[in-house]
Amino acid sequence: MRETAGFSAKYAAELLGTNPIQMSHTEAGRSGVSEERLRRMAALYACQDRALIDALVAMAGENGKGWWDAYRDVLPPVSLDLAELEHRAVHLHLVQISHIPGLLQTEAHARASFAYAVPELEPDALDALVAHRMHRQVVFERSTVPEVVAIIHEAALRIRVGGVAVARQQLRHLCEFSESGLVEIRVIPFEADAFAGAGATMYYAGGAVPQLDTVQLDAPHGVVFLDALSQLARYRTLFGKLKRDTLDVVESRDRILRIEREL
């Protein structure tokens, strides 16, 4: 809002009776902001979008009250950010080519994935990562469950993370999600003609209003969050292209079951 209004952080801080350092902490999410201060900022920046302002107020009111805060100073901030994104999401669109989406993993699969890390994790760190990943599934227990669509390439389904027994359990777990209706799971089969999206992984979290949409990507140097409108539009288009290469929900479930039998 401040940038759209053309204000510098220093100028905005003066108008709000604070200082640039506090402004920086507020804008970066390192410190909380009251409803009164937030609405005052929106008015100062001449923001007319009531839905956006109300969504931000709701978020500010919950600051520091999420289950993920128990992991603060235990896990990297990015883990907490991802859990908060899921908590506030209206819809989640997941794409994985060589991995099972973390939100849909079994405990055994998650443990095997994290244990493969280099350098190897200490037991306490491994336990915390696994517990956090499992805790994220409370999103499916919300009073209003977000719409979740997961696109998974057949390659990811055939990789035996943790061994055959763990891999089979994971595939059955995916089928249970699909049958429950909580997740729309679609498989990109090896035979998909002209498929060229092997590097197209994404985690698109749709917010209460479009301006709060966020894409999370895994990069070699760590996790990246994108929220620029042009970037979001690009990934929405890409998701549509990938979805056209998938089997339908029933065919996808049948393919998963077939792979489970073949392992």
Task: Give residue 55's pLDDT.
Answer: 93
Average pLDDT over residues 82-109: 97
Q: How high is the mean pLDDT of the chain?
A: 94
Average pLDDT over residues 131-158: 97
CA-based torsion, 259, 249, 177, 117: positive or negative:
positive
Name the most confidently modeled range: 2-16, 67-81, 168-182: 168-182
Asked if 78 and 143 touch (Cβ cutoff 8 Å), the reply is no
Task: Give residue 225's pLDDT.
Answer: 94
Asked if 205 and 214 touch (Cβ cutoff 8 Å), the reply is yes
Average pLDDT over residues 64-81: 91
Which two tokens mark 253? 């479930």
- Above 90 in pLDDT, residue 118? no
Average pLDDT over residues 151-176: 98
Task: Give residue 59's pLDDT.
Answer: 87
Task: Give residue 12's pLDDT.
Answer: 94
CA-based torsion, 160, 179, 201, 84: positive or negative:
negative
Cβ neighbours of 37 (radius 10 Å):
15
Task: Give residue 221's pLDDT.
Answer: 77
- If you ran DSSP here, which 8-state letter would residue 96 be given? E
The 10s digit of each residue's pLDDT in 190-236 is 999 999 999 999 999 999 999 999 999 987 778 899 999 999 999 99
The 10s digit of each residue's pLDDT in 15-52 is 999 999 999 998 887 888 899 999 999 999 999 999 99
Domains of the chain (ranges; CATH) run 2-62 (no CATH), 76-262 (3.30.870)
> CA nearest 87: which of 129, 107, 58?
58
Average pLDDT over residues 162-187: 98
Instruction: Tell me if the pTM is above 0.85.
Output: yes
The 10s digit of each residue's pLDDT in 181-203 is 999 999 999 999 999 999 999 99
> CA nearest 132: which of 182, 64, 79?
79
Residue 149 pLDDT level (bands cut at 50, 70, 90)? very high
Average pLDDT over residues 67-75: 94
Task: Give residue 29's pLDDT.
Answer: 79
